[in-house]
């Protein structure tokens, strides 16, 4: 199903129930912290854990629908696009994450690649 290219690197990071519904947990990577969110209806998303406004930790925000409100100044960031909603402008990177039999997998290949893009830039 999932295309396995050498660049994809799915790593098990925990179980779905480790994250509260409408909550988040952080995964530390060499490319910085990734916030893994779980919605009320058990969809999961992974976003860079740094608000585009002033680096607020999105993992500490309030989750509603498929967005999170930053805990520092209430920007609303969409899980789907990583874009700030409404009048605010900015975006964070989103990463592939999936659930298989209750286990969570993060595509660290993508996380690290985006880091190398960053450091190359």
Q: Give the footprint of other proteins on this chain (CB under 8 A).
A: 11, 13-14, 18-23, 25-31, 33, 36, 39-43, 45, 54-57, 60-66, 69, 71-72, 74, 76, 79-80, 104, 106, 108, 112
Q: Does 24 bind ligand FES (CB under 6 A)?
A: no
Residue entry with tokens 């790593």 = 11
In the complex, minimum distance from the CB of residue 116 to other proteins, in angstroms, rounded to a whole number: 11
Q: Which does 91 bind (CB under 5 to 8 A by kind): ligand FES, other proteins, none?
A: none
* Pairwise CA distance, residues 77 & 91, whole Å: 8
Applying CB under 6 A, does 51 fall inside the site for ligand FES? Answer: yes
Reference 90, options 99, 98, 82; nearest CA is 82
CB neighbours of 10 closer than 8 A, spacing ≥ 6?
2, 98, 105, 106, 107, 108, 109
CB of 65 to other proteins, least distance (A): 5
Task: Give the residue with the Cβ less far from ligand FES, 21 or 54.
Answer: 54
Q: How far is the CB of 19 from ligand FES (least distance, A)?
A: 20
* Cα–Cα distance for residue pair 84/121, rounded to 1 Å: 23
Beta bridge partner(s), residue 14 = 104
Q: Using CB under 6 A, which of the segments 5-13, 32-40, 72-80, 106-114 binds ligand FES?
A: 72-80
Distance in angstroms (rounded) separating the CA atoms of residues 41 and 21: 8
């Amino acid at each position: 199903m999932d295309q396995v290219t050498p660049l994809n690197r799915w790593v098990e990071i925990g179980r779905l129930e480790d994250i509260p519904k409408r909550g988040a947990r952080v995964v530390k990577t060499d490319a910085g912290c990734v916030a893994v969110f779980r919605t009320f209806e058990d969809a999961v998303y992974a976003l860079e854990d740094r608000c585009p406004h002033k680096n607020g930790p999105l993992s500490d925000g309030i989750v509603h629908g498929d967005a999170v409100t930053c805990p520092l100044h209430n920007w609303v960031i969409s899980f789907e696009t990583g874009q700030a909603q409404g009048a605010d402008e900015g975006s964070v990177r989103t990463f592939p994450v999936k659930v298989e039999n209750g286990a969570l997998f993060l595509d660290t290949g993508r996380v690290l690649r985006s880091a190398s893009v960053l450091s190359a830039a």
